[in-house]
């Protein structure tokens, strides 16, 4: 797949042109190209890469326009259409992130392209996954843990090599509660709500 397929379009060439009529037409063609790619047979990973690259380029163009004192941000057609295209790409990327990859070809020897990064430990993520399963929060608890772990690891760009081994390590913990991460999450969430309540009381 040509990863520059979206940036090598008439729309990107017209962004620097002040002919609003041509820009409108080019923008419509650009949106159609995105739609065709999303509904076509392109690998989901390759599409994510192309979309992420396009988002980066649009963000850079928006920032360049924003810092240019000679551009009226409220009326300049190039800036407005660039911002519209960036918003569309971001919404599409978020929608793609929620879709489970069901095509076998998408799951074989493909790198993970995550939109968000897990910054906790692997064991903490496994603890969360087991908690979701026990709460039956995903597909009424019917999705196997290994499948759920695989999907979540793709979303966060982290490799969970052996979910069950991490669970066994959790069971070996000696404290009264062996769910360190979930306990800390509950404590901090309750603390946040308590602070919110206190701030609301101070405003009255």
Residues 164-187 pLDDT 10s = 899 999 999 988 899 999 999 999
Q: How confident is the model at residue 2 (pLDDT cuts 50, 70, 90)?
A: low
* Higher pLDDT among residues 107 and 118, named by residue: 118
Is the model's pLDDT at 126 over the cut of 80? yes
Is the model's pLDDT at 88 over the cut of 70? yes
Q: What is the mean pLDDT of residues 21-38?
A: 82
Is the model's pLDDT at 14 over the cut of 60? yes
Among 150, 167, 147, CA closest to 158: 150
Q: What is the mean pLDDT of residues 48-68?
A: 83
CA distance 165 to 161: 9
C-beta separation of 65 from 71 below 8 A: yes
Q: How confident is the model at residue 102 (pLDDT cuts 50, 70, 90)?
A: very low
Is the model's pLDDT at 70 over the cut of 60? yes
CA distance 169 to 125: 13
- pLDDT of 105 reads 43
Q: Where are the domains of the chain?
A: 10-102, 122-203
Q: What is the mean pLDDT of residues 111-120?
A: 70
C-beta separation of 101 from 111 below 8 A: no
- pLDDT of 103 reads 44
Is the model's pLDDT at 98 over the cut of 90? no
Predicted TM-score of the model (pTM): 0.46
C-beta separation of 69 from 25 below 8 A: no
Q: What is the DSSP string of 77-135?
A: HHHHHHHHHHHHHHHHHHHHHTS----GGGSSS-----SS---S-HHHHHHHHHHHHHT
- pLDDT of 110 reads 46
């Amino acid at each position: 797949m040509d990863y520059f397929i979206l940036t090598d379009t008439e729309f990107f060439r017209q962004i620097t042109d002040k002919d609003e009529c041509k820009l409108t037409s080019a923008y419509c063609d650009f949106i159609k190209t995105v739609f065709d790619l999303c509904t076509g047979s392109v690998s989901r990973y390759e599409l994510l890469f192309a979309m992420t690259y396009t988002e980066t380029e649009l963000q850079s163009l928006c920032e360049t326009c924003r810092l240019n004192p000679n551009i009226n941000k409220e009326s300049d057609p190039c800036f407005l259409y660039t911002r519209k295209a960036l918003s569309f790409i971001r919404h599409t990327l978020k929608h793609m992130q929620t879709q489970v990859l069901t095509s076998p070809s998408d799951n074989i020897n493909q790198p993970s392209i995550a939109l968000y990064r897990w910054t906790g430990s692997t064991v903490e993520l496994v603890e969360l996954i087991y908690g979701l399963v026990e709460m039956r929060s995903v597909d009424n608890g019917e999705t196997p843990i290994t499948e759920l772990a695989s999907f979540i690891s793709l979303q966060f760009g982290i490799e969970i090599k052996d979910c069950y081994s991490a669970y066994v390590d959790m069971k070996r913990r000696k404290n009264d509660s062996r769910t360190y991460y979930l306990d800390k999450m509950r404590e901090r969430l309750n603390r946040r709500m308590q602070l919110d309540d206190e701030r609301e009381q101070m405003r009255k």
